[in-house]
Each structure stands twice: as structure tokens, then as C-alpha cells.
Amino acid sequence: MEMDKYVCPICGYVYDPEQGDPEHGIAPGTAFEDLPEDWVCPYCNTPASSMMSFASVMGG
């Protein structure tokens, strides 16, 4: 099953589930939906709840 990428609307960081966020304890293969509640953008600390799905941003 394909996992959605998510984009930070503030800084443009893209969360790629295939890569995770190892520097912050998120293992590769972690779906955005499975991120911890307190996960934030690694660059600008925007909460995960403010991230937008890559598909919605790219119009497809």
C-alpha cells in the first residue's frame, strides 16, 4: 500500500514515509498517520496537524 507524503506549508519540508525522520526517532516506513502526536516539522516545528498531504498540494 502506498503511503502519502506530507508537506510542511511553512518551510516546504516533505515528510516521506519511506525515509521517516531518523534524526527524531522516526523509523523509515512510518506512515504519516502513525507519527507520534508530538512530532513536529524538523525544520520549523510546525505541528503534524498543520501538514498538508502531498497529493492535495500538487493537485493530484
Q: Which residues bind Zn ion (CB under 5 A)?
A: 8, 10-11, 13, 41, 43-44, 46
Using only the alpha carbons of the chain, give its radius of gyration.
11
Backbone angles phi, psi at 6, to 5 degrees: -130, 145
Angle at 22 between CA 47 and CA 2, to 5 degrees: 75
